[in-house]
């Protein structure tokens, strides 16, 4: 359905814990899946936290940098996923984050292709939650927040938490307005630790509230440090109930924004819009054809069905530029053919997901998915060095290695300084008379 970015801030308000709660509480239609991407440049926390180190840190975001340079980003991402679904049906997946903050600079040119790839997963039945942590909404990884349909900021309702969040949220809203999908994509997910209610927090920060998460340390510890997520008390806890309600509000906000941005979209029902903004229904979208004198927009193109494209389907050529100038046809004046032919368009690497059906995943909880790549291969060894001479082995000078390989017998007809020294040292059996004659 959408790409949801979860951001935090100073003081560790709980962005990763909130993202995990949304992952487990996300409502799924039959045949759909939800993916959590740990994209915090400071490093991931799920492998050592919620998974308690039961999965080796050989899978994750760090392997995508090399794959992107090789043009294999869309294929490699499927090999890095881990199943977090309590039932083991692989509908709630995790892409682990970095294991070391020093790995973040290597992804500087991978964030944007990754953002494009995540948006391309929606037609294949995937919703994506991106955990940006406290610093992921700035720097090179900020493109993930700019491309997101909704950016949910986790803040604590304490004076210290709100004071630290105010300037960061103002800068983030400005960045989304100038380079993203709009400042209205930003919303709040406050954690009710302090005395300030959600309505007052929304009024002071000037942002809508998707849901007030309770400050339940015991329940949150299951998500941050590990525990049984199938326990009935955890599933029915106030934290998970609020997370399910917040997930519904996120989906309603996504539909409302797409209705406003997409021309001719069907407006939301009044009940659904009222649930988004406390009884204030958004204005209904008026189709362009209903306005007198307005041009009728062309019919939308049919949705692309995932699958291989048959070779018989012609590839549409580039449209003629503005002004009616025809593209170059590859012929010279007077009808002479160009010996080099027309210049074709430059091939650009595509980061779209492969047009194939994702593999069926049948693993159990917190187990690597089927078809995962083995651990990265060991680096190539250094060039072979000369092995040390064994005790009692015959010594051969490096300058006469080839000659020594051809004949191991000493020849007195071709003496030199090295041979004389070998004779003096007693390394070869010799006849003293022959040595004197050779000298």
Domain ranges for the chain:
3-283, 398-438
Whether the pLDDT of residue 271 is over 70: the answer is no
Calculate the average pLDDT of the chain.
Answer: 75
Domain at 3-283, CATH class: alpha beta
| Least confident stretch, 156-160, 172-176, 358-362, 398-402 | 358-362
pLDDT at 95 over 60: yes
Q: Could you tell me the two tokens for 182?
A: 């709009």
pLDDT: is 191 or 298 the higher one? 191
Please tell me the predicted confidence (pLDDT) of residue 298.
46
d(CA 193, CA 202): 15
Of residues 392 and 203, more confidently modeled: 203
Kindly tell me if the per-residue pLDDT of 405 is higher than 50.
no
Whether the predicted pLDDT of 148 surpasses 80:
yes
What is the percent of the chain where pLDDT is above 70? Answer: 59
Residues 172 and 166: their CA atoms lie apart, in Å, by: 10
pLDDT of residue 262: 73
Q: Given a cut of 80, is residue 428 above it in pLDDT?
A: no
Instruction: Look at residue 424 and tell me whether its pLDDT is greater than 90.
Output: no
Query: In Å, how far from its chain's centre is CA 329?
Result: 41
User: Of 189, 186, 185, which Cα lies nearest the Cα of 156?
Assistant: 189
What per-residue confidence (pLDDT) applies to 261? 78
Give me the sign of the Cα torsion angle 232, 365, 127, 151.
positive
pLDDT for res 373: 39
Give the pLDDT band of residue 282 (cuts 50, 70, 90): very low
Average pLDDT rounded to a whole number, residues 6-24? 93
Is 144 a residue whose pLDDT tops 60? yes
- pLDDT bracket for residue 190 (50, 70, 90): very high
> Is 80 exceeded by the pLDDT of residue 196?
yes
Enumerate residues 6+ apart whose C-beta is below 8 A from 154.
6, 7, 8, 9, 13, 14, 15, 18, 189, 190, 191, 213
- Does 199 have pLDDT greater than 50? yes
- pLDDT over 70 at 195, yes or no: yes
User: If you average pLDDT over residues 340-347, what whole number do you get?
Assistant: 51
Residue-wise pLDDT for 43-63, tens only, equals 999 999 999 999 988 999 999
- Range from 17-26, 53-62, 262-271 carrying the lowest mean pLDDT: 262-271
Give the pLDDT confidence score for residue 421 in this predicted structure. 57
353 or 224, which is more confident: 224
* Diameter of the chain measured on Cα atoms: 123
- pTM of this structure: 0.64
Count CB-CB contacts under 10 A for residue 299: 7
CB atoms within 10 A of CB 353: 23
Least confident of 11-25, 335-349, 378-392, 416-430: 378-392
Please name every residue paired with 213 in a beta bridge, in sequence order, or none if there are none: 191
pLDDT at residue 400 is higher than 50: no
Look at residue 364 in the predicted model and tell me its pLDDT: 38
pLDDT > 90 in the chain, percent? 55
* Residue of 427, 69, 17 whose CA lies nearest to 240: 17
pLDDT recorded at residue 26: 97
Structure tokens belonging to residue 318: 């580039």
Per-residue pLDDT at 269: 44
The confidence score (pLDDT) of residue 9 equals 86
Segment 369-378 shows an average pLDDT of 40
> Which pLDDT band, with edges at 50, 70 and 90, does 264 fall under?
low
């Amino acid at each position: 359905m959408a790409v949801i970015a979860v951001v935090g801030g100073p003081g560790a308000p709980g962005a990763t814990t909130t993202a995990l709660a949304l992952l487990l509480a996300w409502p799924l239609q039959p045949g759909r899946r939800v993916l959590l991407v740990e994209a915090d440049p400071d490093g991931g926390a799920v492998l050592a936290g919620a998974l308690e180190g039961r999965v080796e840190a050989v899978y994750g975001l760090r392997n995508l940098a090399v794959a992107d340079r090789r043009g294999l980003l869309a294929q490699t991402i499927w090999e890095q996923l881990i199943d977090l679904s309590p039932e083991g049906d692989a509908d709630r997946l995790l892409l682990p984050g970095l294991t070391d903050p020093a790995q973040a600079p290597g992804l500087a040119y991978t964030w944007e292709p990754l953002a494009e790839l995540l948006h391309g997963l929606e037609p294949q039945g995937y919703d994506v939650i991106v955990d940006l942590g406290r610093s992921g909404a700035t720097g090179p990884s900020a493109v993930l927040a700019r491309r997101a349909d909704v950016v949910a900021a986790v803040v604590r309702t304490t004076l210290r938490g709100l004071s630290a969040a105010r300037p960061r949220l103002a800068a983030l809203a400005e960045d989304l307005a100038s380079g993203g999908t709009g400042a209205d994509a930003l919303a709040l997910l406050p954690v009710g630790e302090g005395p300030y209610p959600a309505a007052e927090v929304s009024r002071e920060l000037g942002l809508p509230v998707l849901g007030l998460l309770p400050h339940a340390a015991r329940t949150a510890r299951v998500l941050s440090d590990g525990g049984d997520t199938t326990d009935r008390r955890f599933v029915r806890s106030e934290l998970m109930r609020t997370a399910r309600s917040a997930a519904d509000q996120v989906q309603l906000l996504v539909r409302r924004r797409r209705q406003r941005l997409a021309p001719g979209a069907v407006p939301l029902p009044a009940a659904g819009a009222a649930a988004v903004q406390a009884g204030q229904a958004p204005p209904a979208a008026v189709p362009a054809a209903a306005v007198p004198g307005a041009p009728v927009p062309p019919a939308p193109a049919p949705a692309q069905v995932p699958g291989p494209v048959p070779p018989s389907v012609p590839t549409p050529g580039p449209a003629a530029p503005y002004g009616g100038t025809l593209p170059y046809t590859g012929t010279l004046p007077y009808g002479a053919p160009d010996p080099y032919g027309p210049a074709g368009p430059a091939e650009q690497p595509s980061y779209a997901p492969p047009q194939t059906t994702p593999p069926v995943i049948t693993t159990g909880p917190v187990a690597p998915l089927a078809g995962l790549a083995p651990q990265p291969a060991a680096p190539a060894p250094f060039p072979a060095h000369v092995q040390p001479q064994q005790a009692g082995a015959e010594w051969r000078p490096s300058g006469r290695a080839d000659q020594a390989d051809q004949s191991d017998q000493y020849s007195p007809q071709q003496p030199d300084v090295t041979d004389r020294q070998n004779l003096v040292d007693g390394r070869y059996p010799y006849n003293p008379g022959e040595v004197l004659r050779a000298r």
